[in-house]
Structure 1
Amino acid sequence: MLQKMYDWVDERLDITPLWRDIADHEVPEHVNPAHHFSAFVYCFGGLTFFIVVIQILSGMFLTMYYVPDVINAWESVYYLQNEVAFGVIVRGMHHWGASLVIVMLFLHTLRVFFQGAYKKPRELNWVVGVLIFFVMLGLGFTGYLLPWDMKALFATKVGLQIAEAVPFVGTAIKTLLAGDATVIGAQTLARFFAIHVFFLPAALLGLLAAHFIMIRKQGISGPL
């Protein structure tokens, strides 16, 4: 069935050459775990991307039930977790995935650093990777407030105080994030939701696209 669908589309759009250009390329021997046990460290990047995909899909499911206002936010999360079929599983995947993706991204960054894969000609890709790391931290920070419980409230308060401590622009950053320099309220929740669901994912997808294009252009870095 899938083959017939593929043939039908390919007959009209000739997608096979494009697909082969994307998928059919030689993988260096040093990243083959069958030949080198150390090749497993090259899997950190792929595993990170896999978790990102899970985060996106589970997040799309969560937004179908989440209500981003101070009156209904906590109740919508409670309903999702206790009344919706598989809701507790999907929310658990999103919750633990948010921590796991940071761990895998950190391991991937360590592999790139200690193997010198950030050096010429891959300096720009290293910068993009660092930006991805900060975007993922921002996603974790903004997503933490959304359940709108006491733990999230106090954690966000501490985070905003840290942002406010930035020299010269700290107050402006806090006001931009919170909407109000004095209290965490409806504007804060609305802004964190918008940043978490729209702005940061858009930045993440753009950076990932640039990251993969440069990897394909420059190839996988060699061993030590």
Structure 2
Amino acid sequence: MFKKTYDWIDERLNITPIWRDVADHDVPAHVNPANKMSAFVYCFGGLTFLIIVTQILSGMFLAMYYVPDIVNAYRSVQYITDEVLLGNIVRGMHFWGASLVIIMMFLHMLRVFFTGAYKAPRELNWVVGVLIFFVVMAFGFTGYLLPWDQKAYWATAVGAQIAETVPFVGPYIKTLLIGGDILGALTLTRFFAIHVFFLPAALLGLLGLHFIMIRKSGIAGPL
């Protein structure tokens, strides 16, 4: 049944050359699983991507129940945790994954740095990777406010005050973030929109560019 379905799709879209091009791509010897330590170090990028996919899927689940207003935000989070089937597990995955993805990305960037993989001809890919790191950090900052509890509120207030200290443009950045002089309904709505619309669009675009350049330049050699 599966083969018939695949053949029917392949006859119309010719998908076999696409996945065969990926599957048949040679892997450098220093990334060979036989060298366990080297292969493990080179897995940080793939593990980061796996966690990002998990964050996207769990976030889509949470978004079906979350209400981005100051009256119902905390209640909706409680409802997800206490009432929704497997809601506590999915929320826990999303919560801990937000920290884990930063750790794995940091380890991946350390590997790239210490193996010299940021040098020519991969300088642009390093820049894109740094931009991805900033986007992931922005995910953490905007998502932290969404439960709308005391810890989230005051942590965001501190973050806004830090942003205000940026020379010349600090006050404008703070106003852009919180939507006014104080944290309120507009702040929560703005953070939610940034978290689920703007940042995912930026992340997917940067990841696509990152993978294209990896495909073009190949995996960097050992130290």
Map of 1:193 onto structure 2: 192
- TM-score when normalising by structure 2: 0.98
CA contact (8 A) 1:66 1:76 kept: yes
**Is 2:192 the partner of 1:210?**
no
Amino acid at match of 2:45: G
Map of 2:121 onto structure 1: 121
Q: Secondary structure at the match of 2:43?
A: helix
In the alignment, the residues of structure 1 paired with residue 75 and residue 198 of structure 2 have an alpha-carbon distance, to the nearest angstrom, of 25
Aligned length: 223
CA contact (8 A) 1:30 1:36 kept: no
Report the CA distance between 1:36 and its aligned residue.
Answer: 4.8
Amino acid at match of 1:151: K
CA contact (8 A) 1:179 1:191 kept: yes
CA contact (8 A) 1:179 1:188 kept: yes
Q: Secondary structure at the match of 2:42?
A: helix
When structure 1 is superposed on structure 2, of 30-39 and 19-28 the one drifting more is 30-39
Q: Could you say what the CA RMSD is over the residues aligned between the two structures, in angstroms? A: 0.9
Percent identical pairs in the alignment equals 75
| Structure 1 ranges of 4+ moved more than 3 A | none
In the alignment, the residues of structure 2 paired with residue 89 and residue 4 of structure 1 have an alpha-carbon distance, to the nearest angstrom, of 37
Map of 1:147 onto structure 2: 147
In the alignment, the residues of structure 1 paired with residue 8 and residue 99 of structure 2 have an alpha-carbon distance, to the nearest angstrom, of 42
Map of 2:43 onto structure 1: 43
Map of 1:23 onto structure 2: 23
Map of 2:100 onto structure 1: 100
Report the CA distance between 1:168 and its aligned residue.
Answer: 0.5
Amino acid at match of 1:197: V
In the alignment, the residues of structure 2 paired with residue 157 and residue 35 of structure 1 have an alpha-carbon distance, to the nearest angstrom, of 48
- TM-score when normalising by structure 1: 0.98
Amino acid at match of 2:15: I
In the alignment, the residues of structure 2 paired with residue 131 and residue 84 of structure 1 have an alpha-carbon distance, to the nearest angstrom, of 35
In the alignment, the residues of structure 2 paired with residue 156 and residue 217 of structure 1 have an alpha-carbon distance, to the nearest angstrom, of 40
Amino acid at match of 2:198: F
Deviations 1:32-57 (A, max 9, x none): 12135222100000000000000000
In the alignment, the residues of structure 2 paired with residue 17 and residue 67 of structure 1 have an alpha-carbon distance, to the nearest angstrom, of 44
